[in-house]
Amino acid sequence: MRNYHIGIVLFCTILNLSAVAQQLSVNGLRTEYRSNPMGIDAAEPRLSWKIISSRRNTMQTAYQIRVGTDSAGLSAGKAVVWDSGNQKSDASVFVRYGGALLKSGTRYFWQVRIKDNHGNSAAWSTVNSWHTGLLRPAEWTAQWISTSSADTVAGPSPIFRKVFASEGKVKSAVLYITAHGLYEAQLNGKRIGNDHLAPGWTSYHKRLLYQSYEVTSLLKEGQNAIGFTLGDGWYRGYLAFDRRRDFYGKRLSALVQLVIEYTNGTKKTVNSDGSWKYNTGPILRSDLYNGEIYDARLEKGDWATANYNDTNWKNATTIQADKEVLESSISPLATKHEQFSVLKVITTPKGETVLDFGQNLVGWVSFKLSAKAGSYIQLEHGEVLDKAGNFYDANLRHAKQHVKYIFKGGGLESYEPHFTYQGFRYVKITGDLAKIDPSSFKAIAVYSNMDPTGTFNTSNPLLNQLQHNIQWGQKGNFMDVPTDCPQRDERLGWTGDAQVFFRTAAFNMDVAGFFTKWMKDVASDQLSNGSIPFVIPNVLGSNDAGSTGWGDVATIIPWNMYIAYGDKEILATQYPSMKGWVDFMTSKSKDDLWNTGFHFGDWLFYRPNDDNDGRSAITDKYLIAQAFYAHSTQLLVNTARVLGKKSEEEKYTELLDRIKKAFLKEYITPNGRMVSGSQTAYVLALNFDMLPENLRPQAVDFLVRNIESYGNHLTTGFLGTPYLCHVLSRFGRTDVAYRLLLQETYPSWLYPVKMGATTIWERWDGIKQDGSFQTTDMNSFNHYAYGAIGDWMYRVMAGLDTDESAPGYKKITVAPQPGGNISHAAAELETLYGLAVSDWKIENGFFKLKVVIPANASGQIRLPGAANASVTEGGIALNAIKGFGKIVTSGKDMEFSVGSGTYQFEYPIKL
């Protein structure tokens, strides 16, 4: 009987424990946005975690973090280098490490436990880690090594190798590596890491990133060999227009330091130095724009293994190069992602053999083929077929996206390119192969390794395709820097494009690391007078700087990073750059009016070819400049407020006031008309609060009438487009926003979709109605800028947003605005707190809204058209449910706050 009793007690205790465990737990640990990162160089890394709770209204009330240098020890509470102690706080994002000074090249393990407002305690989380990079330049004992001479022409890729001994039990082995040029490294014949196009692209003479790789499992007892191949890449290859090359230097080189730590506490370092050997291999040419030529007959076999005979190889030359500019890589490098099979093999009217992969993508083709030695295959890459159905690549300008492979013969040969990438959907095949088997080819998408965070879905298939196209525009152009296009001889970090697309990008993927890195590049290439170059890294020169809407990247992205992630540090880091840009505009202004200098204006706005009745939607460039001058100043004021810079907040608030006054005086008639009557002019004036309240309703009317005068078409270019629908919604005309969004004829977002686009086009009419193309000079079919509508689709249509007063989705707003006969729209976003959802449908006269608010966050819900409706949540009348904030009506809507949890609202709706 007693045993039975004990049994029951035990059973209940176990049940209870598991119930508690289920109620509250912690996962998704991140250090500086990343899971188990290598090479962290922040002095006080910021730690974040997510909270899982089965109960609604869960908030963290306290946390405890412990950090140690031994994983197993840490779980047992030993070898702790920092214990935060029990901290009463709801902070679960960006909590700073507060222990002793971090050592270089060390792995730190950490875990966290928390308590919540329901009295639950979570168990210690699983252990996560971060590894510190080489924190001081002096710790680089390796030497830069190169071939014997500098080369100015494109030539074969050099390969380097070194044999070394490793004796004893290895605790850890970490490789620190970077290059002038691109590198691919191997240890004992195995590729190191999954990254491509390393070390990425920065202004190399100012900032060169190195990578840190854990290679312990590739090492073996005894003789080992390490090797790497170099390619021209951004450093020395063709870059920008006009067939320029060698932008950063003529000489490829690398810096390699392998640090092995043995379990007995001793260390061994293998450095790049003059004892390394080099040769050339099968890569005869490799260039980002111009593809690769690979002669498999020149392969060197197992050249990166210890037993390889390298007697004919030359000794590497050591060269002097700066180590002070080295910084650890903090953003994800490019990696391989989706694979596509051949959808169709096409024989074109010209008789060409063309593979169609069904998706315009960026990356390369891999194949497995056999052919006799010396025969070749050439792949030519293009985005579209022409009107007649022939292969087309004239829009690539000077870029030759050609990959040529020469067979070694004797069996199946597998290949994919190394230091190049192509933008393509179609691949024309030439060469010696008699027959093409489509199953031998795969297209591989390659882009910066960002986690997908957002999905957006509706009942309208065309909108779903638009969302697909936006996401593929992002994938194709997030190649270490945000590029304008991925195919022609450009592929540059155009600042205007990046700023207009940022908010959309931050919904689709985790772009925090990517933009933290790139914004540093913006600051480091900023000119001494505060002006911002058109492209970052700046490869165009110091005269190509200072355009309105482009330079504002300096303020717009940091501020929106703060909104999307709640990251104050990015504001602090970028503040001097933000201020520099605003001060630059002030220095160019007279009487607070900025009306000088070159500006791109509302780039690629609607301009019909046969414009004989003034339908071209031209907006005065200086009007635009003044509006963005105000906007950037406003963002600087906001930033100064967040950072507690009181006097600067005041100073720039006064400036802002004067800028707006100057705008009114110069660009608004006494009756409230704008000197440019374009959509973009009204959109910018309204969006940036340039007009006094009393002039706004009339401006909205002008805007709507203008849209209607074009038969419900937009006419905006790069600068007006991102704000167009937002302005309409903000001023109560979501109906007009839907008309624009659902417009299927040119110019509109859905016109390219109807024309079969699988990405966003650079121009509203890249392919015209009659199938002919826009000018070959500038007609990319993969340009993300117009994809900026994605932000409105997430934030207004689906209604998922963060409250600016508690950014980074600490406080989430869910305020869908249905319309346009759409019966369903859903947005999901993996925030730093966890998954947030707004998912609505209209069914049998009922509006049904599913909301998910992650733990440790709260929500503000606005139910459209629910003011007088009887609303239920999970089948229960709303006012019978505890835990909601005060329910208020606001116009036709109902509003209230909620805590974390999953909710299902429902009410009859009349739309």
Site string for ligand BGC, 297-326 (x = CB under 6 A): ------------------------------
Q: d(Cα 765, Cα 715) in Å, to the nearest integer?
A: 12
Min. distance of Cβ 484 from ligand BGC in angstroms?
A: 4
Applying CB under 6 A, the span of 78-86, 488-496, 563-571, 765-773 interacting with ligand BGC comes to: 488-496
Residues 764-793 that bind ligand BGC (CB under 6 A): 778, 783
Please report whether residue 667 would count as binding ligand BGC according to CB under 6 A.
Answer: no
Non-local CB neighbours of 472 within 8 Å, separated by 6+ positions: 359, 360, 361, 758, 759, 760, 782
Q: d(Cα 653, Cα 647) in Å, to the nearest integer?
A: 10
Min. distance of Cβ 489 from ligand BGC in angstroms?
A: 10
Instruction: Identify which of residues 429 and 719 has a Cβ nearer to ligand BGC in the complex.
Output: 719
Instruction: Identify which of residues 378 and 548 has a Cβ nearer to ligand BGC in the complex.
Output: 548
Whether the Cβ atoms of residue 428 and residue 380 lie closer than 8 Å to each other? yes
Site string for ligand BGC, 447-476 (x = CB under 6 A): ------------------------------
Please report whether residue 41 would count as binding ligand BGC according to CB under 6 A.
Answer: no
Q: How many residues bind ligand BGC (CB under 6 A)?
A: 10
Residue nearest to ligand BGC (CB): 484
Q: Which residue in 195, 261, 497, 828 binds ligand BGC (CB under 6 A)?
A: 497
Instruction: Identify which of residues 91 and 778 has a Cβ nearer to ligand BGC in the complex.
Output: 778
Q: Which residue in 600, 606, 688, 794 binds ligand BGC (CB under 6 A)?
A: 600
Min. distance of Cβ 395 from ligand BGC in angstroms?
A: 11
Instruction: Identify which of residues 35 and 542 has a Cβ nearer to ligand BGC in the complex.
Output: 542
Min. distance of Cβ 488 from ligand BGC in angstroms?
A: 8
Kind and range of the H or E run holding 231: strand 222-231
Q: d(Cα 623, Cα 633) in Å, to the nearest integer?
A: 16
Instruction: Identify which of residues 42 and 624 has a Cβ nearer to ligand BGC in the complex.
Output: 624
Q: How far is CA 703 from CA 230, 351, 579, 623, 730, in A?
A: 55, 51, 32, 16, 13
Min. distance of Cβ 680 from ligand BGC in angstroms?
A: 15
Q: Which residue in 195, 416, 480, 484 binds ligand BGC (CB under 6 A)?
A: 484
Catalytic residue among 762, 873, 895, 906: 762
Whether the Cβ atoms of residue 219 and residue 163 lie closer than 8 Å to each other? no
Burial 244-269 (b: 16+ CB within 10 A, else e): ebbebeebbbbbbbbbbbbeeeeebe
Full strand arrangement of the beta sheet holding 277-280: 190-191, 182-187, 222-231, 158-166, 277-280, 314-315
Q: d(Cα 549, Cα 495) in Å, to the nearest integer?
A: 8
Please report whether residue 552 would count as binding ligand BGC according to CB under 6 A.
Answer: no
Instruction: Identify which of residues 283 and 789 has a Cβ nearer to ligand BGC in the complex.
Output: 789
Non-local CB neighbours of 614 within 8 Å, separated by 6+ positions: none
Whether the Cβ atoms of residue 764 and residue 733 lie closer than 8 Å to each other? no
Please report whether residue 485 would count as binding ligand BGC according to CB under 6 A.
Answer: yes
Instruction: Identify which of residues 362 and 812 has a Cβ nearer to ligand BGC in the complex.
Output: 362
Q: State the residue for tokens 């926003």.
A: 737
Q: Identify whether 762 is a catalytic site residue.
A: yes
Please report whether residue 494 would count as binding ligand BGC according to CB under 6 A.
Answer: yes
Residues 79-98 that bind ligand BGC (CB under 6 A): none
**Where would I find the beta strands (DSSP E) of 275-375?**
277-280, 283-287, 291-295, 314-315, 317-319, 326-328, 334-341, 344-347, 353-369
Please report whether residue 490 would count as binding ligand BGC according to CB under 6 A.
Answer: yes
**Residue whose C-alpha is closest to residue 791's, from 541, 513, 564:** 564
**Residue whose C-alpha is closest to residue 344's, from 263, 425, 461:** 425
Min. distance of Cβ 762 from ligand BGC in angstroms?
A: 6
Q: d(Cα 777, Cα 63) in Å, to the nearest integer?
A: 58
Note if the bond before 558 is cis, omega within 30 degrees: no
Residue type, 65: I
Nearest 10 degrees: CA dihedral of 498, 502, 508, 512?
Answer: 100
Q: Which residue in 496, 580, 816, 854 binds ligand BGC (CB under 6 A)?
A: 496
Whether the Cβ atoms of residue 183 and residue 230 lie closer than 8 Å to each other? yes
Applying CB under 6 A, the span of 73-81, 207-215, 482-490, 861-869 interacting with ligand BGC comes to: 482-490
Min. distance of Cβ 562 from ligand BGC in angstroms?
A: 24
Note if the bond before 747 is cis, omega within 30 degrees: yes
Instruction: Identify which of residues 407 and 600 has a Cβ nearer to ligand BGC in the complex.
Output: 600
**Residue whose C-alpha is closest to residue 240's, from 535, 545, 549:** 535
Helical axes 568-587 vs 646-667, angle rounded to 10°: 50
Please report whether residue 502 would count as binding ligand BGC according to CB under 6 A.
Answer: no
Applying CB under 6 A, the span of 386-394, 413-421, 492-500, 622-630 interacting with ligand BGC comes to: 492-500
Q: d(Cα 498, Cα 539) in Å, to the nearest integer?
A: 16
Min. distance of Cβ 360 from ligand BGC in angstroms?
A: 16
Min. distance of Cβ 206 from ligand BGC in angstroms?
A: 23
**Where would I find the beta strands (DSSP E) of 787-875?**
800-802, 811-814, 824-831, 834-843, 846-853, 858-863, 872-873
Min. distance of Cβ 614 from ligand BGC in angstroms?
A: 24
Q: Which residue in 201, 501, 603, 663 binds ligand BGC (CB under 6 A)?
A: 603
Enumerate binding residues for ligand BGC (CB under 6 A).
484-485, 490, 494, 496-497, 600, 603, 778, 783
The residues assigned a catalytic role are 490, 762
